[in-house]
Amino acid sequence: MELSSLYLPTELPWSSISVTVLCIYIAYFVVRIGFFHPKDEAPVRYEVPLPEQAKAGWSGKILEKPAIKIPGSSVIQCYNPATGQLLGNVNPATPDGIDRALARAAEAQQEWAKTTFTQRRKVLRTMLKFILDNQEDIATVACLDSGKTKVDAMLGEILVTVEKLQWTIKHGEKALRPERRPTNFLMMYKHNEVRWEPLGVLAACVPS
C-alpha cells in the first residue's frame, strides 16, 4: 500500500477543505489583531443579540409563493430565497424617517471628523474583532437573508470585510495624508497640494 493512501481519501470533500482553509486564513487575522496592535488602539469587546432565526433548531414557515410584497399591505416580507422560509416582516422607511436618519448621521459625522487616526483605528479594530469572533453567526445570517451557501458567505461577506478593514487599519492614515503636486517653471512660486476632505453622509443601494 502506498504511503499517501494512508492519509488521503480517494475523493476529497472540497467544500469542507474550502471552509477549513478559510478558517485557517481568518485565524491568522485573529492572531494579528490579538497580539500586534498598540495599546491605545486595543479593540473594545461588545455584543449584539443573535436573531432567533439564526439560532440552532429554528425552523420558519415555508411560503408557498415567496414574495416581498403582501397583498393589501405595505409591509415587506423577508424570506430565505434558497428555502422559501419566512424570516419576518418589516415596515418600510417613510420619507420623514429617512430624513431623520440622515440628520442623525450628519450630526454624528461632524463628531467623527474630529477624531484622530488612532481613535479611528480603535473603532475599526473593534469592528474587525467582532466579525472574527462572530464569523459563524454572521455567515449564518447572510445565508438566511440571501440564500448563499456557507462557503460563499465566508468568502463574500467575512473574508472581504476583514480584508477591507485590515487594509484601512494599515494604510488608511497614509492614504488620507495631503499630497504634493508638481508645478512648472513659470508657476514655481506656487505650492500645489491635494487635501482629502470628507463628503459627509452618503447613501447607496447595494444589491446582496
Q: DSSP string spanning 134-169?
A: THHHHHHHHHHHH---HHHHIIIIIIHHHHHHHHHH
| Contacts of residue 56, Cβ cutoff 8 Å, sequence gap at least 6 | none
Q: List the one residue out of 149, 153, 144 whose CA is nearest residue 79.
A: 144
Q: Mind listing the pLDDT tens digit for each residue in 152-192?
A: 999 999 999 999 999 999 999 999 999 999 988 888 888 89
Per-residue model confidence (pLDDT) at position 168: 96
pLDDT digits (tens, 9 = 90+) for 98-157: 999 999 999 999 999 999 999 999 999 999 999 999 999 999 999 999 999 999 999 999
Q: Which long-range contacts (CB under 8 A, 24 or more apart) does 111-115 make?
A: 113/198
Kindly state the average pLDDT of the residues 50-67.
92
**Beta carbons within 8 Å of 26's beta carbon, 6+ residues apart:** 132, 135, 154, 158, 159, 162
Rg of the Cα atoms in the chain: 24
Classified as helix, coil or strand, 172 is helix
Q: How far is CA 66 from the centre of its chain?
A: 27
- The pTM is what? 0.76
The 10s digit of each residue's pLDDT in 59-70 is: 889 999 999 998
